[in-house]
Each structure stands twice: as C-alpha cells, then as structure tokens.
Structure 1
Amino acid sequence: MAEIKVPELAESITEGTIAEWLKQPGDAVEKGENIAELETDKINVEITSEHSGVIQDLSKEAGDTVEVGDVIGHIDENGQAAGDGASSEEKQQESAAEDKQETAPKTSEEASESQTSDSEETSEGRPVASPSARKLAREKGLDLTQVPTKDPMGRVRKEDVEDYEKNKAAASSQGKEAKKESAPAPKDEFEGKPVERIKMSRRRQTIANRLVDVQQTSAMLTTFNEIDMTAVMDVRKRWKETFQEQHDVRLGFMSFFTKAVIAALKHFPLLNAEIDGNEIIQKQFYDIGMAVSTDDGLVVPVVRDADRKSFAELEQEVIDLSLKARDNKLTLKDLQGGSFTITNGGVFGSLLSTPILNGPQVGILGMHKIQWRPVAVNQENMENRPMMYIALSYDHRIVDGKEAVSFLVKIKELLEDPESLLLEG
C-alpha cells in the first residue's frame, strides 16, 4: 500500500487547503497523473501520484487544511479499479470460498505450514489474520494491529474487521454529535434575517492577513498628484497602428507608467528598498510588480528587469502575466520578489484611492481613471483636459515626505513630456 503525501511546495509554503479531489476511491491512477488540486497562500498546485494503482482511501476532504508531508490517502498498487476484473458475484463466491477454506479441518501438513506462517508473521510484528480479514482491512484502509479479536489463539478474522469498522464509525459519529452539542449556540445577531456564510479561501485569508500586517508594521502615508494625460494620449494616437503592426501588441498606458516609475526610482532609490531589522536593503534592480485582480483575489506578478525591456516587451509581459493570473496558471517564480508595485484601479472606474503597501516593499503607485476636467492652462484660459490622479503610498520609516512628493512630481513631469522618457534610458 503506497501513501499519498503532500509534496514539498516551496521554501515559504508549509501548508495548503485541498481545493478539489480529481480522483476518488476505486479510481485507477497512473504514475505522474494528477490526484488533487491544492490551494496555497500564493498559487494552486496539483498533487501528482508517485505510484500506479487504485485509489484505496482518502483521509482528507476538500476544504481541509494539510501540511507538507501529511498522508492524505493510500494507493493499492496491486488493486483493480471498480468495475474491473471479476464481477461482484464472483468476488462474493471467492470470499465465501476463502471463509470455507479457513473453517475446513486442516491436515497435519497444512496445520504445520499455518503455524509456521503465523510464527513468521508474529516475529515480523504483523498480526495473525485470515486472508479474507487482510483483504477487507486493506480495502477499508484499517490497521490490523488495532483490530480486537475474539479468537482464543489471537487470529483476526473477517468478522472482527467488520465489527471494528462499525464500532469505529459509530464512535466517530458520537464524537461529532457531542462536539456539536457542546458548541455554544451562535448568537442571532441578524434577528432571523436571511444571510449566507461563505468560508474565505486560503488566498483571501492570506491577502487579508498581509494587508492588516502591513498597516500594523509600517508607518504608511499616501501623497497625491495629478497628471495631464494629453501628451501620452497624443503619442498613443499617432503611433497606435504602427506599433501594433510592428510588435503585434497594443500600445497601452502601462508601459509609459512603468518607464516613468523606473526613471523616478533611479532618482529616489529609497523607494526601491526594503527594511530588514535595523538595515535598509537598497535594491540595484527594477523588478516591478503589477497588481492584477482575479476571481480569487488580488495577485501581484512581477515583471523582471523591467528597466531593460522595451515598450513592446513591457506591454506583452503585462498581458501574459494578466492572462496567467486569470487562468490560475501563475507559478511561484512569477510572484516572488519585486522591488516596487504599480496598481491600476482606474480600469474599474476608481477616481482616487490610497493603495496599501505590498510588504516588504516601501512604495506603491496607484493609477486611476482618466477623467476629462476643465483645467486652467494659464491665468486667462481654461481647457478640457484628460486628467488622472495618481497616489503614492510609502513607508515613512525610511522615505520622507520630500522624497515621496518629489517622486510623484518626477513621474508627472515625465508623463506630461513622454519624449523625455527616452533620455532616462
């Protein structure tokens, strides 16, 4: 009997929740075939079988929390899938024949062989049991050493296994009932009005815990500015078709903002850092996280070495990571690290917000909806301009207000004169 264990996931992941069983007891499984889907704090992973055979039993249910190394089921490497092999009637006849063979008088030679066999089993620490008892215990996933027997010689028979299974099931049922009765009745805080309780997914729990932790462990402040998007929109309008033809990707706003953020980080490097105890780790690379909303919650895949990528490469990678996030195909490598994060609430219509830091990073830029507003272009004239509010949340422990405000001003200047991005490398 082979064990199904929760495999090693990653250095930072020690447990997960069984999201779905892909196989059930009695199903045949091949080595390398997926058995279950495990939901972790960051991604969903599939548990694959290390053996070929038949699923004997599953000790955990969907929704249960398991740790790395836990045994969550067993595979009978010599078993047959339900419906294979002999019919149920043939199996019953085989079982009856076994029982009859056990109760039939033995010759002196058979008795001697039986005693030898029993002696060998006992010496190995295995209980003395009939073949039908062993078969039934194997099918039910029971430990024969725990099965009491009425046989004066200590031999475990089929009926002993059946009685043990019934008593075990009854005890489990009684325990659940007792636990249910002892639990205090929930307070009717809604006065009988209809409600629905939904268990939070592991990812949602992790998001909630991390956001609360960031607010408790950092001195987070947010500063704001606004950008006249006229120049960027003009560049996009003039180069939209040519860019699409040459690179087979649409020229969006994210590449402009990423380039501007990297240029501003080079001028204000403390926003590209993190705190480790009494030390500041100032990063000399630019791995930019892009917040993506999915049905299971917010994830932040990372664009590696964003400073070395062209506008087209940035646009394509943002699209690829967004599709992987929504299809639940992100890997741990896609999510780990990151030196600064950009989040765009404008795609949902947000006009202004205060983004929460993506710890242990010390800065996050919030983009918002482009809104046409009347703007004073000089002391005498007003014009309707496409305006966007931007927000920078930062950790005041190492970033002062002067640096934070100057950082946003730098981004504003670069985006209102997008050709200047070429001079920033």
Structure 2
Amino acid sequence: MNEIKIPELAESITEGTIAEWLVKKGDKVEKGDPVVELETDKVNVEVNSDYAGVITEVVAEEGDDVEVGDVIAKIDENGEAGGDASADDSNESSEQKSEDSSKEEASDKKEEAPKKEEKEIENTKEESKDNGDVIASPAARKRARELGIDLSSVQARDPLGRIRPEDVDSAAKGGNEQKESKPKKKEEPAQSEKTEFDKPVERVKMSRRRQTIANHLVEVQQEAAMLTTFNEVDMTNIMKLRSKRKESFMKKHDVKLGFMSFFTKAVIGALKEFPHLNAEIQGKELVLKKFYDIGIAVSTEEGLVVPVVRDADRLDFAGVEREIGNLGKKAVNKELKMEDLQGGTFTITNGGTFGSMLSTPILNAPQVGILGMHNIQKRAMVMPDDSIEVRPMMYLALSYDHRIVDGKDAVKFLVRIKELLEDPYDLLLEG
C-alpha cells in the first residue's frame, strides 16, 4: 500500500486547501495522473499520483487544509478498479468467506457494541467541535481520533492557531494544561463570527486565496509607511494616436493597441529616473533592482491576482500588449503558474475598467510602489491660453512606501509619468 502525499509546491507555499478531488475511492489511476486540485495562496495546482494502482482510501476531504508532506490518499498497486483487491463478487467461494466472516464479525460486534457506541459518541462530539472554531490539519485530526483527544482542548503552537500532529501528541502527554488560560484575543474573533442576527444572513467560507489577500493587505498597512499622491493626465494625444494607428498596428502585430502598453512604458521610463520606486527593503539593506518586471493586476472570480510581465523594458508596445493579453487569459481560465506571479518590481492596477474615478491602491509587498489608473472622463479644462476645452482626463494615484521613497520623489515620479503619457510620440520612440 502506497501513500499519495502533498509534494513540495514552491519556495513560498507550504500548505493549501483541497479544492476538488479528480478521482474517487475505487478509481484506477496511472503514474502521473492528476488526482486532486489544490487551492494555494496564489494559484490552483494539480497533485499527481506517484504510483499506478487503485485508490483505496481518501484521507483528506474537499475543503480540508493540508500542508506539504500530508497524506491525502492511499493507493494499492495490485488493486482492481471498482472495489477492493481482496473482494470478487462473482466468486462463490469469496461470497461464502464473506458470510463466514460476517458471522464472526456479528458475534464480535455484540461484545464490542458498548465500547464502539461510546467511541462513536466521543468522535461525534469531537467532529462537531472540529468543524467549528478549531483549525487543524487532516493529519492532526486523524491523530486526535486515534488518541481520543478533543481538538478543542489542544493548544496550537502555530502563530495562526492551526493544530498540527505534534500539538496533539503534546496534549496526550499532558503538555496543554495552559489551554484554559488561552488569551482571550484568540477567542474573540471566533466568537464574533458566531454572532447571531435577527434578519436572514448567508455564511460563506472564505477561500484560501481570499484569506491570503485579506491577511496580506493588513500586513502591508501595518508594516509599510504607505502614502498616496495624485495627479491627472490628459489622454487626448494617446486617444488620437490609438485611433490613427490601431488598424495598421493590428495588421502588423496581430494584437490590439491598448492603453496598458502606454502606461507600462511610461512607468518604466519614470522608474529609470527614480530607481527608489523600483526597490525593496531586505533587513537593513535597500535593494535597488536593475530590471523591470511589471505586475499587472487582474481581477478574477476568486480575487485579485498580479501576473508579471518579465523584462518589460525589453519589449516593444506589441510585445507588452501580447504578454498582458496572454496573462489576462490565463488568470481568467485559472491557468496561471507560480512563476507567472513571482518577482514583480512595480505594479499597475486599473480600477477604471470598473468605473472607478479615484482610489488609493494598496502596495503589493515587498514592492514599494503601485500606480492606480482610473476611468476616463470628459471634463472642461482651462488651457494655457485661458481657453476652455473639453478633454478626456484620467486621475492617477501613486501609493508608495515612505520608508524608502520621499514625498518629493513620489510627486516627481508621477509628474514624469504624466509628461510621458501626454506626449506619447516620444514615448513610442523611446519604447
């Protein structure tokens, strides 16, 4: 009997949630076949079987949290699909053996009934509690059942409150007496989740990705000295250029000329002049990056993801548009891989696609800058000669980490982006 375990996923990912089983007990699988879809903090990945055989046991259910190394299923290399390797319904002698064994089991059950009934009651209590406030890995739950330990009495050493098998073992040895004096601040959130309402509500479990996004955003605001500066850009020249060149651009490159390539190139031009916006803090060091991997925020059903356009400074406008289009499709179709999301140096997010007029984007740590685009609105603008014209205007927002970036540099950075966008012909030449 072999075990299917959660493999090493990526350097920064150690756990996930069972999103969907692709096989069931009794199914025959080949080596390398995908058996389960795992939802991680960033992308969904398929876990493949390292063995060929028949699934004899599914240890972790859909919705369970698992970590690298956890056993999620068992497989028999000599088993037959559709049932147990030791059972053959068409074999009469096998049927006879089953009858004999069932008689023996029945007599055994009479003796063990009181004990089993007692154990089932304990397990039921444990499961009801485990499905409530307690967060535990499947291995910990199984260990708790074996030892007859109530998970609600186990003290988790994990900072996030997740119970692991070693915590259960410690509880069995009497190492969790401090459970009763557990700080109230850990209980309060669980209590608030259980608030009853007089009017109808719907409780929906947060996906692992949504939980990660929530935690990540809170951490950013706690750790970074985040400020936001604003400006506006006149989109007249870009819109005229797109209108003039869009057909020839499409024929030549087989991709549409959108706004994102202009903004990406403008950001790169400004980053080269203000390198502190393309940096990060590592301990007591300031790391100034000499490459330009630009993250483009994409909204999906499960939340915001930020795939990265690699070496965007080396791509022409068509290359940028093509790469952004490919990453956007992969995000919507849930085909992004870990390498698509790692290592960005600066991020661009476009709330204007949803009609946003103005917002303050939150940093994508460890990056220290993010540019927010917004909706294009026609407004009456006073021109240099005091005439009034209707112009397509867009508000820009730059959020930055004040620990690295001074306010003066942040303002100049955003002004430089504005200048490059309002003179897109120079931008095209430089790009």
TM-score, normalising length from structure 2? 0.80
Q: How does 1:182-193 map to 2 (within 5 A)?
A: 189-193=195-199
Alpha carbons of structure 1 residues 322 and 245: separation in structure 2 relative to 1, 3 Å: same
Equivalent residue number for residue 47 of structure 1: 47
1:159, distance to aligned residue in structure 2 (A): 6.4
| Alpha-carbon distance in 2 for matches of 1:172, 1:213 | 42
Residue in structure 2 matching 1:337, options 328, 340, 343: 343
1:408 paired to 2:421: no
- Show the counterpart of 1:205: 211
Corresponding residue for residue 242 of structure 2? 236
- Rounded to whole Å, the distance in 1 between the matches of 2:112 and 2:299 is 48
What does residue 266 of structure 2 align with?
260
DSSP 3-state at the match of 1:90:
coil
Alignment match of 1:288 (pick from 278, 284, 294): 294
Q: Do the aligned partners of residues 267 and 85 (structure 1) sit closer, same or farther apart at CA in structure 2, a change above 3 Å counting?
A: closer
In the alignment, structure 1 residue 251 sits paired with structure 2 residue 257:
yes
User: How far apart, in 1, do the equivalents of 2:54 and 2:111 lie?
Assistant: 24
Give CA-to-partner distance per residue, 1:6-62, whole Å, 9 cap, x none.
111111111110001111111121211111100111111111111121110111110
Query: Superposition pairs for residues 213-224 of structure 1, below 5 Å?
Result: 213-224=219-230
The amino acid across from 1:355 in the alignment is P
Matching residue within 359, 363, 381 for 2:387? 381
Residue aligning to 1:176: 124
CA positional deviation for 1:161: 8.7
Equivalent residue number for residue 312 of structure 1:
318
CA–CA distance in structure 2, aligned partners of residues 415 and 58 of structure 1: 56
**Aligned pair in 2 of structure 1 residues 42, 164: CA closer, same or farther (>3 Å)?**
farther
2:26–2:84 contact (8 Å) kept in structure 1: no
Aligned mates of 2:375, 2:37 — CA distance in 1:
37
Distance 2:259 2:420 in 1: 13
Question: Which residue in 2 is equivalent to 1:327?
Answer: 333
CA 1:74/1:381 → structure 2, altered by over 3 Å: closer, same or farther? same
Q: Give the whole-Å Cα distance in 2 for the aligned partners of 1:258 and 1:218.
A: 24
Letter matched to residue 230 of structure 1: T
Residue 5 of structure 2 aligns with an amino acid whose one-letter code is K
After the TM superposition, list the runs of 4 or more consecutive aligned residues in structure 1 that deviate by more than 2 angstroms.
83-93, 95-100, 157-192, 422-425
Q: Distance in 1 between matches of 2:326 and 2:111?
A: 55
Deviation of 1:411 (Å): 0.6
Q: Residues of 2 paired with 1:379 and 1:53: CA distance?
A: 80
Task: Say which SS state the counterpart of residue 386 (structure 2) adopts.
Answer: coil
Check 1:69–1:354 CA distance in 2 against 1; reply closer, same or farther (3 A cut): same
Residues 4 and 172 of structure 1, relative CA distance in 2, 3 Å threshold: farther
Bigger-Rg structure (1/2): 1
State the partner residue of 2:63.
Answer: 63
Distance 2:383 2:29 in 1: 71
Q: Using the alignment, how far apart are the partners of 2:345 and 2:424 within structure 1?
A: 24
Assess, with a 3 A threshold, how the Cα gap between structure 1 residues 85 and 171 changes in structure 2: closer, same or farther: closer
CA offset digits 1:252-293 (Å, max 9, x no partner)? 000000000000000000000001111100000000000000
Counterpart of 2:340 in 1: which secondary structure?
A: helix
- What's the secondary structure of 1:324's corresponding residue? helix
Distance between the aligned counterparts of 1:60 and 1:169, measured in 2? 24
| 1:196 matches 2:181 | no
CA shift at 1:424, angstroms?
Answer: 3.7
Which amino acid in the other structure matches residue 325 of structure 1?
A: A
Deviation, 1:170, is 6.3
Partners of 2:127 and 2:25 in 1: CA distance: 28
**Quick one: structure 1 residues 31 and 344, their matched pair in 2 at CA, closer, same or farther if it must change by over 3 Å?**
same
Q: How does 1:23-38 map to 2 (within 5 A)?
A: 23-38=23-38
Cα deviation for residue 98 of structure 1 reads: 7.7
1:175 CA displacement:
2.7
Shift of 1:348: 0.5
Compared CA separation, residues 248 and 168, structure 1 to 2 (3 A): farther
Q: 1:360 aligns with which of 362, 366, 370?
A: 366
Cross-structure match for 1:13: 13
Counterpart-to-counterpart distance in 2, 1:346 and 1:383: 23
Q: 1: CA distance between counterparts of 2:46 and 2:26?
A: 20
SS at match of 1:3: strand
Runs of at least 5 residues in structure 1 that lack an aligned partner in the other structure: 101-131, 134-156
CA 202–240 in structure 1, closer or farther in 2 if over 3 Å, else same: same
SS in 2 for 1:399: coil
TM-superposed deviation, 1:87: 8.9
Q: What per-residue deviation string (whole Å, max 9, x for no partner) do you get for residues 293-322 of structure 1?
A: 000110000000000000000000000000
Counterpart position of 1:152: none
Total equivalences in the alignment: 371
